[in-house]
Amino acid sequence: MEKTLVIAIGGNAILKEGQRGTAEEQYENVRTCVGPIVELYQQGYRIVLVHGNGPQVGNILLQAESASDLVAPQPIDLCGAQTQGQMGYMIQRAMHNCFMEKNVPGKITSVVTQVVVDREDPAFREPTKPIGPFYTRERAEQLQKEHPEAVFKEDSGRGWRRVVASPRPIRIIEKESVNALLDQGHIVVTGGGGGIPIAQEGNRYTGVEAVVDKDLVSAIIARDVRADQLVILTGVDQVYVDFGKPTQRPIERMSVAQARAYLEEGQFPPGSMKPKIEAALGYLAQGGREVLITSIEMLPRALEGKSGTVIFREED
């Protein structure tokens, strides 16, 4: 029986720390990512890809602010839609080129995805979602003076970043389209950047100024497509306890109870590993089978049980 994987790729894998963010840099990063995924497609896996957009949407907002005297700024939901289009295109082009190189008769389609959120979500009162590049403290303070409406916070010891509201996703609008394409043998790119946040008001939808966490959206998509496994790709090969400390140690497998205990201890920082663990727990609580957290480079080995961190339900 074919297995269905939902694979979540972070936006920082496509625009890496220290890079300027040129089209060439981003495409090369995407090209590196798609090789292992095409190999899985060749093996018969049904694949859904979800990508982050934190660096990309942050840069679009900075561009808009810099040119605000010449061009009317766009709301964050439209900026998120832009990243879905541009990143979906890069992934599709890289994937098609890989198909041709490997002589694989593959199909891939991107779906512009809307995600319903609640306007009363408490996240709107306390922005936490990092977007855009990392700054020094001095540069962040300068930007704060130039853009008083923006909020900047320190991000896991890596520098300062702009943060925006990140409400919890409730459901995605296009799930029937995603399932139909998956059934037709397509790799489906959906939920890009966590999807475009919208709110239902009566019998209509309206855009919402926010960025939804792509890992939480991945959990909903994994439920909707009845995935066999939710795969969350990150910058490290495994989840670690005491990350960055002399006592750092990797975790190969952990139960839901163990993961919750580590969360309560504060082992997983917000804006970094915490939303990934929360997404994993949310998926498993809804009947999901298993979550794998690893890096793109180690994905093939992790699927063989030779790397990565697996989170499982106690009854399994």
* Active site members: 11-12, 129, 214, 276
Query: How far apart are alpha carbons 4 and 48 in whole angstroms?
Result: 8
3-state class (DSSP) for residue 255: strand
Q: How far is CA 109 from each of CA 7, 44, 98, 126, rounded to the nearest angstrom? A: 15, 17, 15, 35
Give strand pairing partners of 207. Answer: 198
Q: How far is CA 186 from each of CA 11, 111, 221, 251, rounded to the nearest angstrom? A: 22, 11, 15, 33
- From the list 270, 283, 14, 266, the residue with the least C-alpha distance to 128 is 270
Here the tokens at position 70 are 């010449």
**DSSP-assigned states of every residue in 114-178:** EEE--TT-GGGGS--EEEEEEE-HHHHHHHHHH-TT-EEEE-TTS-EEEEE--PPP-EETTHHHH
Query: How far apart are alpha carbons 252 and 22 in whole angstroms?
Result: 36
CA-based Rg of the chain, rounded to a whole angstrom? Answer: 19
CA atoms within 13 A of residue 248's CA, in its CB half-sphere: 9
Query: How far apart are alpha carbons 299 and 252 in whole angstroms?
Result: 14
Query: How far apart are alpha carbons 175 and 172 in whole angstroms?
Result: 6
